Structure 1
Amino acid sequence: MCACHPPSSRPAGSSSATLARLEGKRHPGCRGLPLQSPTNRTVCRSHALSSAHDHPNQFALLGQRRFAPFFWTQFLGAGNDNLFKFAFTVMVTFKLSVSWLPPETAGAIIAGVFILPFLLFSATSGQLTDKYDKTRVIQWVKSLEVAIMLLAAWGFWTTNVPVLLACVFFMGLHSTLFGPVKFAYLPQHLNERELTGGNGMVEMGTFVAILLGQVAGGLLIAIPEAGRHYVAIGCVTVAVLGRLTAQFVPPSPSTDPGLKINWNPVTETLSNLKLAHGNIVVYRSLLGISWMWFFGAVFLSEFPAFAKQVLHGDEHVASLLLVVFSVGIGIGSLMCEMLSKRHVEIGLVPLGAIGMTIFAVDLYFASRSLPPAASLGVAEFVRQPAHWRVMADLGLLSLFAGIYSVPMYALIQLRSVPSHRARIIAANNILNALFMIVSSLLVGLLLSLHFTIPQVFLATGLANAVVATYIFLLMPEYLLRFIAFIATRLIYRFKVINDEHIPTQGAAILVCNHVSFVDAVLLMAASPRPIRFIMDHRIFKIPVLGTLFKLAKAIPIAPQKEDPAAYDRAFAEARKVLEEGDLLCIFPEGGITRDGRLQEFKGGVMKILQTHPVPVVPMALRNLWGSFFSRIDGAAMTKPFRRGIFSSVGLAVGEPLAAADVSPQRLRERVQDLLGSEDGTVQQVPA
Structure 2
Amino acid sequence: MSGYSQFSLLTQRRFLPYFIVQALGAFNDNVYRQAIIGLLGAMVLAGTLSSETRALYTQLAPAIFIVPYFLFSATAGQIAERLEKQKLIVITTAMEIAIMSLAAVGFLLQNMPLLLVALFCTGLQSTLFGPVKYSILPSVLAPEELTGGNGLVEMGTSMSILVGMIFGGSIFLLAGAAGPYVAAVSIILLAVAGNIVARRIPRVDAGEPGLEVSWNIARQSWRIWKLTRRQLAVRNAVLGVSWFWFIGTALTAQLPVYAETNLGGTQALYVLGLALFSIGVGTGSLLCEKLSGRIVEIGLVPLGAFGVSAFLFDLYFARPGQALATGMSVAEFVRAPGSARIMLDLTGIGLFTGFFVVPLFALIQSRTPKREMARVIAGMNIQNALFIVMAALIGIAVQRLLGWTIPQVFLALAIANTLVAIWIFTIVPEFLMRFLSWLLVRTLYRLQLHGIEKHVPDEGAALIVCNHVSYMDALILAATIPRPVRFVMYYRIFNVPVMRWIFRTAKAIPIAGAREDPALMQRAFDQIDTALVEGELVCIFPEGALTRDGEIAPFKSGVEKILERAAAAGRPVPVVPMALRGMWSSMWSRRSERAESGRLGRMRVPRRFRAHVEVVAAAPVEGQPSAEELEAMVRRLRGDAA
Match of 1:667 in 2: 630
Match of 1:79 in 2: 27
Does the alignment pair 1:178 with 2:129?
Answer: yes
Alpha-carbon distance in 1 for matches of 2:388, 2:199: 33
Match of 1:470 in 2: 423
TM-score with structure 2 setting the length: 0.93
For the 8 Å contact 2:142–2:458, the answer to whether it is kept is no
Does the alignment pair 1:116 with 2:70?
Answer: no
For the 8 Å contact 1:347–1:480, the answer to whether it is kept is yes
Does the alignment pair 1:429 with 2:381?
Answer: yes
> How far 1:457 moved relative to its partner?
1.2
Does the alignment pair 1:653 with 2:617?
Answer: yes
> Does the residue aligned with 2:176 lie in a helix, a strand or coil?
coil
Deviations 1:504-540 (A, max 9, x none): 2111111111111111111110111111122222234
For the 8 Å contact 2:591–2:604, the answer to whether it is kept is no
Letter in 2 for 1:510: I
2:411 corresponds, among 458, 464, 481, to: 458
> How far 1:596 moved relative to its partner?
1.5
> How far 1:462 moved relative to its partner?
2.3
Describe the shift of the 1:669–1:650 C-alpha distance in structure 2 as closer, same or farther (beyond 3 A). same
Letter in 2 for 1:622: R
**Root mean square deviation, CA, Å:** 2.0
Does the alignment pair 1:160 with 2:111?
Answer: yes
For the 8 Å contact 1:556–1:570, the answer to whether it is kept is yes
> How far 1:667 moved relative to its partner?
1.2
Match of 2:285 in 1: 333
> Does the residue aligned with 1:120 lie in a helix, a strand or coil?
helix
Alpha-carbon distance in 1 for matches of 2:311, 2:160: 25
> How far 1:342 moved relative to its partner?
2.7
Match of 2:501 in 1: 547
1:89 corresponds, among 17, 22, 37, to: 37
2:347 corresponds, among 369, 382, 395, to: 395
Letter in 1 for 2:549: D
For the 8 Å contact 1:114–1:169, the answer to whether it is kept is yes
Greater alpha carbon shift after TM alignment, 114-123 vs 100-109: 100-109
> Does the residue aligned with 1:255 lie in a helix, a strand or coil?
coil
For the 8 Å contact 2:108–2:184, the answer to whether it is kept is yes
For the 8 Å contact 2:490–2:511, the answer to whether it is kept is yes
> How far 1:626 moved relative to its partner?
3.1
Match of 1:603 in 2: 557
Q: Relative CO higher for 1 or 2, CA cutoff 8 Å, sep ≥ 6?
A: 2
For the 8 Å contact 1:628–1:636, the answer to whether it is kept is no
> How far 1:303 moved relative to its partner?
0.6
> How far 1:115 moved relative to its partner?
0.8
Match of 1:151 in 2: 102
Residues 378-393 of structure 1: pairs in structure 2 closer than 5 A: 378-393=330-345
1:506 corresponds, among 440, 457, 460, to: 460
> How far 1:155 moved relative to its partner?
0.8
1:232 corresponds, among 184, 193, 207, to: 184
Does the alignment pair 1:415 with 2:367?
Answer: yes
> Does the residue aligned with 1:176 lie in a helix, a strand or coil?
helix
Alpha-carbon distance in 2 for matches of 1:95, 1:636: 81
> Does the residue aligned with 2:125 lie in a helix, a strand or coil?
helix
Deviations 1:349-374 (A, max 9, x none): 22222221111111111121565112
2:299 corresponds, among 336, 347, 354, to: 347
> How far 1:93 moved relative to its partner?
4.5
Match of 1:137 in 2: 88
Deviations 1:155-179 (A, max 9, x none): 1111111111111111111111111
> How far 1:640 moved relative to its partner?
6.1
Alpha-carbon distance in 1 for matches of 2:21, 2:421: 33
Greater alpha carbon shift after TM alignment, 303-312 vs 330-339: 330-339
Greater alpha carbon shift after TM alignment, 521-530 vs 552-561: 552-561
Task: Calculate percent identity across the aligned residue pairs.
Answer: 44
Does the alignment pair 1:494 with 2:447?
Answer: yes
1:614 corresponds, among 573, 593, 601, to: 573
1:198 corresponds, among 124, 143, 149, to: 149
> Does the residue aligned with 2:338 lie in a helix, a strand or coil?
helix
For the 8 Å contact 1:628–1:638, the answer to whether it is kept is no
Does the alignment pair 1:273 with 2:225?
Answer: yes
Letter in 2 for 1:408: L
Match of 1:405 in 2: 357
Describe the shift of the 1:563–1:193 C-alpha distance in structure 2 as closer, same or farther (beyond 3 A). closer
Deviations 1:439-474 (A, max 9, x none): 122222322322221121122122222222222233
> Does the residue aligned with 1:232 lie in a helix, a strand or coil?
helix
> Does the residue aligned with 1:388 lie in a helix, a strand or coil?
helix
Deviations 1:463-515 (A, max 9, x none): 22222222223333322322232223211112221112222211111111111
Describe the shift of the 1:371–1:294 C-alpha distance in structure 2 as closer, same or farther (beyond 3 A). closer
> How far 1:638 moved relative to its partner?
3.6
Alpha-carbon distance in 1 for matches of 2:495, 2:448: 30
Describe the shift of the 1:578–1:127 C-alpha distance in structure 2 as closer, same or farther (beyond 3 A). same
Does the alignment pair 1:297 with 2:249?
Answer: yes
> How far 1:124 moved relative to its partner?
0.7
Match of 2:569 in 1: none
Deviations 1:33-82 (A, max 9, x none): xxxxxxxxxxxxxxxxxxx99x9422232222222222221111111111
> How far 1:636 moved relative to its partner?
5.6
Letter in 2 for 1:214: M
Describe the shift of the 1:145–1:622 C-alpha distance in structure 2 as closer, same or farther (beyond 3 A). same
Aligned length: 626
Match of 1:28 in 2: none
For the 8 Å contact 2:321–2:407, the answer to whether it is kept is no
Alpha-carbon distance in 1 for matches of 2:96, 2:579: 54
Describe the shift of the 1:639–1:488 C-alpha distance in structure 2 as closer, same or farther (beyond 3 A). closer
Describe the shift of the 1:637–1:422 C-alpha distance in structure 2 as closer, same or farther (beyond 3 A). farther
> Does the residue aligned with 1:277 lie in a helix, a strand or coil?
coil
> Does the residue aligned with 1:610 lie in a helix, a strand or coil?
helix
Alpha-carbon distance in 1 for matches of 2:96, 2:396: 33
> How far 1:284 moved relative to its partner?
1.9
Match of 1:570 in 2: 524
Deviations 1:586-607 (A, max 9, x none): 1111111222221111111222
> How far 1:99 moved relative to its partner?
5.9
Alpha-carbon distance in 2 for matches of 1:400, 1:414: 22
For the 8 Å contact 1:89–1:110, the answer to whether it is kept is no
Does the alignment pair 1:169 with 2:120?
Answer: yes
> How far 1:348 moved relative to its partner?
2.0
> How far 1:94 moved relative to its partner?
5.6
> How far 1:559 moved relative to its partner?
2.1
Alpha-carbon distance in 2 for matches of 1:103, 1:446: 24
Alpha-carbon distance in 1 for matches of 2:191, 2:76: 20
> Does the residue aligned with 1:470 lie in a helix, a strand or coil?
helix
Letter in 1 for 2:616: A
Residues 203-218 of structure 1: pairs in structure 2 closer than 5 A: 203-218=154-169
> Does the residue aligned with 1:649 lie in a helix, a strand or coil?
strand
For the 8 Å contact 1:125–1:426, the answer to whether it is kept is yes
Match of 1:446 in 2: 398
For the 8 Å contact 2:590–2:602, the answer to whether it is kept is no
Describe the shift of the 1:566–1:60 C-alpha distance in structure 2 as closer, same or farther (beyond 3 A). closer
For the 8 Å contact 1:93–1:104, the answer to whether it is kept is no
Does the alignment pair 1:525 with 2:479?
Answer: yes
For the 8 Å contact 1:93–1:102, the answer to whether it is kept is no
Describe the shift of the 1:300–1:139 C-alpha distance in structure 2 as closer, same or farther (beyond 3 A). same
Letter in 1 for 2:393: L
Describe the shift of the 1:62–1:542 C-alpha distance in structure 2 as closer, same or farther (beyond 3 A). closer
Greater alpha carbon shift after TM alignment, 371-380 vs 586-595: 371-380
Describe the shift of the 1:100–1:173 C-alpha distance in structure 2 as closer, same or farther (beyond 3 A). farther
